[in-house]
A and B are shown apart, each in its own frame.
Chain A
Amino acid sequence: MPDNGQASDQIKLSCRNLWKVYGKDAASFFTGTDAPGDTAALARRIRETGHIVAACDVSFDVRVGEIFVIMGLSGSGKSTVVRCLSRLVEPTAGEVRLDGRNLLKASPDELIDIRRHKMGMVFQSFGLLPHLTVLDNVAFPLRLQGSSEGERHARARKMIELVGLKEREAAFPHQLSGGQQQRVGIARSLAVDPELWFLDEPFSALDPLIRRQMQDEFLRLQQLLRKSIVFITHDFLEALRIADRMAIMRDGRIVQMGAPADLVLNPADSYVAEFTSEVPRSRVLTSADAIDASLSVAADAPKIDGRVKLEDLLPELAARPAGLRVVDVAGNALGMVTPGSVIAVLADAKSQPNAA
């Protein structure tokens, strides 16, 4: 797996067979005795009775230090899933485990405690408190825990500096631009130094240019902080830029899950292919994906990191047509890439979606 090596294999958050049904008798469909039979049939039956199936048998794991992206069109159930993970919304059925502990069994008090120390969340329309200044907004979670004013302001100032808003601490949310408001939202969600970080379409309300800038900023922060992240977006390119692994949702269910490159190379169905067809392959595939297995490793060839995207590999290859030696994070050789192998993988990728 072309992992960037930041995430370990340890599982932080695990979500199993999660259902959320809206409607009068939602619970009646999950009385427990039923064997986990055909989920599609069950979903159809529930929908026929006028209920809304917002999440349908969703399962995935988030590893420690990983950015897990959930991508899907609006209404596909992304927000519902992330709210079930934080129990802002009660799941109708399923299991959510944080560090192996069942979150759905947590009492209200335990839940408050978990939210105070382990979780942070960023919202699409920021969710800032209109009556508090930037400083007080960021310090708000600490205030709820009863930490002293000096203590929490010191911590909040650090967070505000981290997101680059140092001069605006005394401003009120409505005096800030969208991008600045979301920086406040990010700083606030980080104030308690959570291990698990939820972001529900954090950049969707922003202009494209700002969005790009915020994504870079987000990646920089993650380099620094190494949180375990669930990131929601409806923008496929955004997902590709930041995901370690991603899941694509449609009508409440996950239709495909994997590393971005896997999805682009092997879309599971035409729905996923719809998204991937517009994506330039060179921007997704890495040098590791273009290794020509038939060549033996030439020890004297210049090294190239396996995570480098083909887009950035091309100029290097142009200078060294003989090929480059691909290495992993630890420096172990993985194989050779040549102009020929890159062209082959790009051409192959092009024809893939139609074949699928």
Chain B
Amino acid sequence: MQSHSQTLPSRRIGGDLVRGLDRQALVWLAITAFLLVSPGFNALLPWLKTYPAELVLPITPALNQFMSWFVDSFGFIFKGIAWLLQWPIAAVQAVLHWLPWPATISIVAMLAYRVSGWRLAAFSVVGMLYMVVVGFWIESMNTLSLVAISVPLSVAIGFLLGVAAYRWRAAERIIVPTLDFLQTVPTFAYLLPVIKLFGFGPVTGLITSLLYAFPAMVRNTQLGLKEVPEEVVESGRMSGATPRQLFWLVQVPAARRQIMLGINQTTMAALSMVIVASIIGGSADIGWAVLSTMRKASFGEAFLAGIVIALIAMIMDRITWAIAARDRAGDPPAQAALTRHRHLLIGLALVALFLLLAQVLPALAEWPRDWRFFPARSIDSAISTFIVAGKSWIELIKKAAFYFAMLPVRLGLEATVKPATWGFAWSTIHTVLYVLVLGGLAVYAARTWSLMAGIGIVIWSAVYFFGITNLPWLGLVALGTALAWKVGGRSLALGTGLGLVYLLVAGIWEYAILSIYLCGIAVLLSFLVGTALGIWAAHSPRVSHILRPINDTLQTMPLFVLLIPIVMIFKVGEFTALLAICLYAIVPAIRYSENALRSLSTEVVEAATCMGCTTRQLLFQVKLPLARPGLMLGLNQTIMYGISMLVITALVGTKELGQQVYVGLGNGDFGVGMVAGLGMAAIAMIADRLTQAWSRRQRAELGLG
């Protein structure tokens, strides 16, 4: 019925306007009218704007009660696990501390050389030397020891679950939705229950890291096994393989590349979470080094430590990636055992050598404090100089963003436009002008394109005029649900409605709106700029060549490293959060749009060129419409990246849900944090399903199946 009304736009033309409007359009018009009219009654009927506190359900205390009951009843199990796990952590830590730093560096360098080549080995050596010289060696090793235990555990658990999901439908039906959910829960929120159950300390970091990292392994294992071509499996069976042989000698090796990619992703996730987990303190690792200094506003130190995290991430990423990529080429089997183990032997020899040397030269065992190269002061003063010199510019950017985008969207034009901000005061004249111009535009859009385009313009102008925080919650819930219905049908609408209602009854609507506002602006910006860059890159190999390593690096960084440079210049605040989100969320926007354009069928493009399309026509009338499903997936990922960064930006003092999670964490208030964390998950899930459904719809419309 919905699609029916879509396929017959001609009904409207020339006909009676009202009769031509179907039920769906009427619903949209009603919602729009409500959104437009209701803010006028905010003073009269305050519950229109603010969800009445009386209707908030006591979810937070209920969660807290449940948790204390759970801890009281079963806490001993988790305490036991924590006690057990502390030993391997201590053991690995002891080994890494005992090994002289040159020995550790040799091992990593040999590994890097073995899996990739001397370039990666050299990069690893230089990177690790930096850690030594700057004096963060011990902290780095503490981080490494957590990762070293978390990764094998995550890989093992993830592999088993991945195999189970591949083998048994029932398992798949449980595992996949659980993973989907885990993926949307903000990183900080993982810490809440883990702290309650396992207490403070390194074990908590380990467990959260494990929880956060294993899903990647499950997905890749399952995907890899699924993608082994049917004929390869059949050829194995026809060769007379027993089920066990078939699995270990045919399916797993054939899926090896994907499984290895899983290990790569798992490693990076584990590292990222170990770093995030350091906000609970007491772990003396490199994440703590960054955080504690950032809190003291000694950005120079934070920056130096941040670089260490970045280096650890890059080295780990490159090495595990190289292992995955190396696979296909393989070693010529002619290679004798001795040469195959040569690197191992050299590595061992170097370790032995440095162990001996460290007895004589204490600097090899521990880098002396006095030799530490620690230019934090100079960095601080350089930043100050830079900030003083660029003050006018920095202020300009900040103010422009604040006055013209962020404040109006949040509070509305009337509250924002003041002589101090825009240079004049808002008056009725302006309101009339605004309504005329945008109303005209909306009518024009409704006539030339579609009714939905017109309604879209009206809604956007309403947000900008009233401010998103002044819009009625009822209208926004209706808007979200109607959108979900249009895009994905009944069940998506139901899910969306329930998610939004949760935000209301949990009493976190205000925070949720602020989350949506901050993340929305950032995503919009990232998506526009990122897509433009992606399009450029798709047309210019040079741009693509420049962007790729930048994207790679941004993507491998543990999230809060990205905050550091921005905080250094713009200080804490919402604007910093906005930039940080953009910095991270722009990566998928670039990637997906470039990929979407590059993978267009060349024949269609050639056909259009032959018809005499100009470059511009080709882009706007052929390529972009065809690339729409791919661009939508890019938007989906941009939103997901944006949301995961949003939570981290709580560290620089935002006022949204992420901050609530952080507050819950700080006060040890499980309920508050969890309610907010689930709210975040609800928003993420709604955004995810909406954009996915939209992308699928467009694929279907383009006949791409």
Which A residues are within 8 Å of any B CB, using their own CB? 83, 86, 88, 112-113, 115-117, 119-121, 123-133, 135-136, 140-141, 143-145, 170, 172, 174, 185, 188-189, 192, 198
Q: Is B616 an interface residue (CB 8 A)?
A: no
Chain A to chain B contacts (Cβ below 8 Å), 12 pairs: A112-B241, A116-B239, A121-B234, A125-B229, A127-B229, A127-B232, A140-B249, A144-B245, A170-B333, A172-B328, A174-B328, A192-B239
Q: In angstroms, how far is the closest chain A Cβ from the Cβ of B120?
A: 23
The answer to whether B240 touches A116 (Cβ under 8 A) is yes
Q: Is B250 an interface residue (CB 8 A)?
A: yes
The answer to whether B256 touches A131 (Cβ under 8 A) is yes
The answer to whether B237 touches A188 (Cβ under 8 A) is no
The answer to whether B238 touches A120 (Cβ under 8 A) is yes
- Identify the closest chain B residue to A126 (Cβ): B231
Q: In angstroms, how far is the closest chain B Cβ from the Cβ of A199?
A: 12
Since A129-B253, A172-B330 are in contact, a sample of 14 more A-B pairs with Cβ atoms closer than 8 Å, ordered by chain A residue number, is A112-B240, A115-B238, A119-B238, A123-B235, A125-B231, A129-B235, A130-B254, A131-B327, A131-B330, A136-B333, A140-B236, A143-B249, A144-B245, A198-B238
- State the CA gap A141–B235 with chains docked (Å): 9
The answer to whether A113 touches B240 (Cβ under 8 A) is yes
Residues of A close to B241: CB separation below 8 A: 112, 144
- Identify the closest chain A residue to B246 (Cβ): A144
The answer to whether A188 touches B239 (Cβ under 8 A) is yes
- State the CA gap A126–B239 with chains docked (Å): 13
How many chain-B residues does the 8 Å CB contact rule pick out?
25
Residues of A close to B256: CB separation below 8 A: 131
Main SS class of interface, A? mixed
Q: In angstroms, how far is the closest chain A Cβ from the Cβ of B389?
A: 56
Residues of A close to B327: CB separation below 8 A: 131
- Identify the closest chain A residue to B238 (Cβ): A121
- Identify the closest chain B residue to A198 (Cβ): B238
Q: Is B334 an interface residue (CB 8 A)?
A: yes
Residues of A close to B240: CB separation below 8 A: 112-113, 115-117, 141, 144-145, 192
Q: Is B428 an interface residue (CB 8 A)?
A: no
Question: Of B229, B239, B330, B334, which is within 8 A of A140 by CB?
Answer: B239
Q: In angstroms, how far is the closest chain A Cβ from the Cβ of B55?
A: 47
The answer to whether A115 touches B231 (Cβ under 8 A) is no
Which B residues are within 8 Å of any A CB, using their own CB? 229, 231-232, 234-242, 245, 249-250, 253-254, 256, 327-330, 332-334
Question: Of A123, A136, A145, which is within 8 A of B231 by CB?
Answer: A123
Residues of A close to B330: CB separation below 8 A: 131, 133, 172
Residues of B close to A86: CB separation below 8 A: 238
- State the CA gap A88–B245 with chains docked (Å): 16
Residues of B close to A133: CB separation below 8 A: 330, 333
The answer to whether B231 touches A127 (Cβ under 8 A) is yes
Question: Of A129, A143, A198, which is within 8 A of B232 by CB?
Answer: A129
The answer to whether B229 touches A144 (Cβ under 8 A) is no
Q: In angstroms, how far is the closest chain A Cβ from the Cβ of B261?
A: 15
Known: A131-B254, A141-B239. Contact between A170 and B234, CB under 8 A?
no
- State the CA gap A116–B241 with chains docked (Å): 8
Q: In angstroms, how far is the closest chain A Cβ from the Cβ of B2?
A: 27
- State the CA gap A140–B250 with chains docked (Å): 10
Interface centre among B229, B234, B238, B329 (most CB of A within 10 A): B238
Residues of B close to A117: CB separation below 8 A: 240
- State the CA gap A144–B245 with chains docked (Å): 7
- State the CA gap A140–B249 with chains docked (Å): 9
Residues of A close to B334: CB separation below 8 A: 170
The answer to whether B332 touches A144 (Cβ under 8 A) is no
Residues of A close to B236: CB separation below 8 A: 129, 140
Q: In angstroms, how far is the closest chain A Cβ from the Cβ of B244?
A: 11
Residues of B close to A83: CB separation below 8 A: 234
- Identify the closest chain B residue to A140 (Cβ): B239
The answer to whether A115 touches B234 (Cβ under 8 A) is no
Known: A141-B239, A145-B240. Contact between A129 and B250, CB under 8 A?
yes
Q: In angstroms, how far is the closest chain B Cβ from the Cβ of A60?
A: 21
Residues of B close to A198: CB separation below 8 A: 238
The answer to whether A121 touches B235 (Cβ under 8 A) is yes
Known: A131-B254, A131-B256, A131-B327. Contact between A144 and B239, CB under 8 A?
yes
Q: In angstroms, how far is the closest chain B Cβ from the Cβ of A24?
A: 14
Residues of A close to B249: CB separation below 8 A: 140, 143-144
- Identify the closest chain B residue to A86 (Cβ): B238
- State the CA gap A131–B252 with chains docked (Å): 10
- State the CA gap A120–B232 with chains docked (Å): 14
Residues of B close to A126: CB separation below 8 A: 231
- State the CA gap A134–B236 with chains docked (Å): 15
- Identify the closest chain A residue to B242 (Cβ): A112
Residues of B close to A112: CB separation below 8 A: 240-242
Residues of B close to A143: CB separation below 8 A: 249
Q: In angstroms, how far is the closest chain B Cβ from the Cβ of A92?
A: 19
Q: In angstroms, how far is the closest chain B Cβ from the Cβ of A218?
A: 18
Q: In angstroms, how far is the closest chain A Cβ from the Cβ of B246?
A: 9
Q: In angstroms, how far is the closest chain B Cβ from the Cβ of A351?
A: 44
Residues of A close to B242: CB separation below 8 A: 112, 144
- State the CA gap A185–B242 with chains docked (Å): 20
Listed from nearest, the 10 A-B pairs whose CB atoms lie closest are A116-B240, A127-B235, A127-B231, A141-B239, A115-B240, A121-B238, A123-B231, A131-B253, A127-B232, A112-B240
Residues of B close to A172: CB separation below 8 A: 328-330
Q: In angstroms, how far is the closest chain A Cβ from the Cβ of B481?
A: 35
Residues of A close to B238: CB separation below 8 A: 86, 88, 115, 119-121, 189, 198
Residues of B close to A135: CB separation below 8 A: 333
- State the CA gap A31–B232 with chains docked (Å): 34
Q: In angstroms, how far is the closest chain B Cβ from the Cβ of A153?
A: 10
Q: In angstroms, how far is the closest chain A Cβ from the Cβ of B364?
A: 41
Known: A112-B242, A133-B333, A144-B245. Contact between A128 and B237, CB under 8 A?
no
Residues of A close to B245: CB separation below 8 A: 144
Known: A113-B240, A140-B239, A144-B240. Contact between A170 and B231, CB under 8 A?
no
The answer to whether A128 touches B328 (Cβ under 8 A) is no
Residues of B close to A124: CB separation below 8 A: 231
Q: In angstroms, how far is the closest chain A Cβ from the Cβ of B398?
A: 54
Q: In angstroms, how far is the closest chain A Cβ from the Cβ of B223?
A: 16
Q: In angstroms, how far is the closest chain B Cβ from the Cβ of A98?
A: 14
- State the CA gap A88–B230 with chains docked (Å): 11
- State the CA gap A191–B72 with chains docked (Å): 64
- State the CA gap A143–B245 with chains docked (Å): 10
Residues of B close to A119: CB separation below 8 A: 238
- State the CA gap A312–B234 with chains docked (Å): 41
- State the CA gap A6–B491 with chains docked (Å): 66
The answer to whether A88 touches B237 (Cβ under 8 A) is yes
Known: A113-B240, A140-B239, A145-B240. Contact between A128 and B234, CB under 8 A?
no
Q: In angstroms, how far is the closest chain A Cβ from the Cβ of B382?
A: 51
Q: In angstroms, how far is the closest chain B Cβ from the Cβ of A193?
A: 13
Interface centre among A88, A120, A135 (most CB of B within 10 A): A88
Question: Of B239, B254, B329, B332, which is within 8 A of A170 by CB?
Answer: B332
- State the CA gap A133–B330 with chains docked (Å): 9
The answer to whether B235 touches A130 (Cβ under 8 A) is no
- State the CA gap A293–B551 with chains docked (Å): 83
Residues of B close to A140: CB separation below 8 A: 236, 239, 249
Residues of B close to A170: CB separation below 8 A: 332-334
- State the CA gap A174–B330 with chains docked (Å): 12
- Identify the closest chain B residue to A115 (Cβ): B240
Residues of A close to B232: CB separation below 8 A: 127-130
- Identify the closest chain B residue to A194 (Cβ): B238
